[in-house]
Amino acid sequence: MEIDSNRTTLAKTLQNRRQRLAGLIDFPVMLWSGCRMGRNFPANRFPFRASSHFLYFGGLPLERAVIYLNFGKLELFIDDSPPETTLWHGEMPKREEIAEKIGADAAFPLSELSSRGEGVATIAVQDIMTRHQQAEILQRPLGLGNNLSGRDRDLAIAIASLRMYHDPDALAELRQAAAVTVEAHKAGMRATNITNFNIHSPLQKTQTEATIRGAMEGVIIAHNMTCAYNSIVTVHGEVLHNEQYHHSLQPGDLLLADVGAETEMGWAADVTRTWPIIGKFSPTQRDIYNIVLAAHDSCIAKIRPDVEYLDIHLLAASVICQGLVDLGIFRGEVSDLVEMDAHALFFPHGVGHLLGLDVHDMEDLGDLAGYEEGRVRSNRFGLCFLRLNRPLKSGMLVTIEPGFYQVPAILNDPEQRVKYRDIVNWERLAQFGDVRGIRIEDDVLVTEDGCEVLTGGLPTEAEAIEELVN
């Protein structure tokens, strides 16, 4: 854990956040940071990731810490490291130093927590060890995700209403994550060029997805950041959550890379680019790429306060349908096609989601942050995966990530084949066999008069992408 002495604004930022929270609720709150978990033996632990709600109000990735928030006051509960650990881990900041850094009003050892749990609201953390402690201190079971109730639910709604609109300190972090992510993607494109291959290791005989992943994540690590999520770096973009990296890169392949950095304080970026291994899109790849790009650009052009995110999603669906009609893959009127979810044959996910301390921001609260109160997930094939359904407001950060995929599980599904038999020209589609998956994703901040693409430093045009690979 590193306390950045340059960040004199941290205490102020945190004070501001908890005062805004105090304006929304009138009961005390405890937020736990969580602890590390053993990987293959107790001393070999996964890297620590503090709970995002803790980070928002506590500011620092402290292990085994609890903050108690009440009417704008912050009390910190954390144990000082025992002296014998100094040998192994060096001098750690003391409770009082940390308390000062985050502007706590008081600080206590963890043992003082036990008497404080009555009437307190909390959000369950991810690690079960800490979750047991939460239930023990509060002397009640904890709800999770969409099953929050009582004060915990009121707290979650209050926190979501704050975390949804990023303050300057949050934005500064998010911009850093975005900037490093842009560099990581550029490094990935450069590493795809076969003439740059083998500079790092004589052991590799063929270039694989892992080769490119190494180049990209290496940049993120070099900036002392972590990956905000498990990277997708694949020539099989049609597998939406692909976490395999062993395929070798073949000349006709497209590589889809969905890789994002996370700052030390936990703020995330989330970017996808798709590029041709040989540095040149085939005509069919370029046709589809330009449809996805048109959807991407149209959506971003429309983002401004008060626009419904659902409409952005539907716009992406329309642009994709129009493009596929123009290519002769779809038949019919665009509005009819979208109405019957035809877009979801090739674009079976939502156009994006909230982004902040979590890559799917506040998804631990189920749909509470993503969905405006009173709205629920659609059960339509073309809408059910949409993670965000709210009117956009200034200060929100969202991803825009339309895509086109030929997913065998969808396209070979006999039911879909029947349902869409009059709409899809399967022979025409067969000519686009070299397009397995394309996605273009950027991080877009809603501003007062429109939007700003935080990851705009990374090109999207096909020619610019080709240039970076070459």
The interface with a copy of itself within residues 217-236 (CB under 8 A) comprises 217-224, 229-230, 236
CB of 441 to a copy of itself, least distance (A): 16
Binding span for a copy of itself by CB under 8 A among 23-31, 59-67, 155-163, 362-370:
362-370
Of the residues 26, 71, 114, 200, which one makes contact with a copy of itself according to CB under 8 A: 200
Binds a copy of itself (CB under 8 A): choice among 27, 165, 245, 371: 245
Write phi, then psi, for 347 (nearest 5 degrees).
-140, 70
Least distance to a copy of itself, CB of residue 75, Å: 24
Distance, CA of 18 to chain centre:
24
Site for a copy of itself in 335-354 (CB under 8 A): 348
294 class by beta-carbon count within 10 Å (0-12 exposed, 13-18 middle, 19+ buried): middle
Q: Are residues 305 and 394 in contact, defined by beta-carbon separation less than 8 angstroms?
A: yes
Residues between 375 and 434 that touch a copy of itself (CB under 8 A): 407-410
CB of 87 to a copy of itself, least distance (A): 5
Question: To which H or E segment does residue 219 belong?
Answer: helix 209-222
CA-angle at 162, arms to 47 and 272, nearest 5°: 55
Name which of 108 and 420 has its Cβ closer to a copy of itself. Answer: 420
Q: Determine the size of the site formed for a copy of itself (CB under 8 A).
A: 75
Residue of 341, 358, 441, 443 interacting with a copy of itself (CB under 8 A): 358
Task: Decide: 182 and 271 in contact? Cβ < 8 Å.
Answer: yes
Q: Contact with a copy of itself (CB under 8 A): which of 152, 258, 364, 443?
A: 364
Residue 233's SS3 state is strand
> What is the biggest distance separating any 2 CA atoms in the chain, rounded to whole angstroms?
74
Q: Which of residues 103-132 bind a copy of itself (CB under 8 A)?
A: 126-129
- Among 360, 323, 357, which Cα is nearest to 338's? 323
* Residue 458 tokens, joined: 């990374």
Looking at the DSSP bridge assignments, the partners of residue 70 are 73
Q: Which of residues 154-193 bind a copy of itself (CB under 8 A)?
A: 179-180, 183, 187
Closer residue to a copy of itself, CB minimum distance, 86 or 161:
86
**Residue nearer to a copy of itself on the CB measure, 320 or 369:** 369
d(CA 468, CA 459): 9
**Could you say whether residue 210 binds a copy of itself (CB under 8 A)?**
yes
Helical H segments across 242-303, by residue range: 283-302
Stretch that binds a copy of itself, among 63-71, 153-161, 274-282, 359-367 (CB under 8 A): 359-367
Nearest distance in Å: CB 32, a copy of itself: 13
Give the span between the Cα atoms of 215 and 198, in whole angstroms.
12
**Pairwise CA distance, residues 234 & 437, whole Å:** 9
Identified binder of a copy of itself from the candidate list 2, 26, 97, 448, rule CB under 8 A: 2
CB nearer to a copy of itself: give 104 or 215: 215
Q: Is 202 in the site for a copy of itself (CB under 8 A)?
A: yes
Q: Which of 8, 82, 203, 306 binds a copy of itself (CB under 8 A)?
A: 203
Q: Tokens for 380, please give them.
A: 């339509």
Please, which of residues 40-59 interact with a copy of itself by CB under 8 A?
40-47, 49, 51-52
Shortest CB 180 distance to a copy of itself, Å:
6
Among 201, 374, 418, 421, binds a copy of itself (CB under 8 A): 201
Q: Hey, what amino acid is at 77?
A: F
Q: Which of residues 285-314 bind a copy of itself (CB under 8 A)?
A: none
DSSP element (H, E) containing 52: helix 52-58
Report the alpha-carbon distance of residue 111 to residue 134 in Å, rounded: 13
**Considering only CA atoms, which of 13, 363, 386 is closest in space to residue 156?**
363
Binders of a copy of itself in range 252-271 (CB under 8 A)? 266
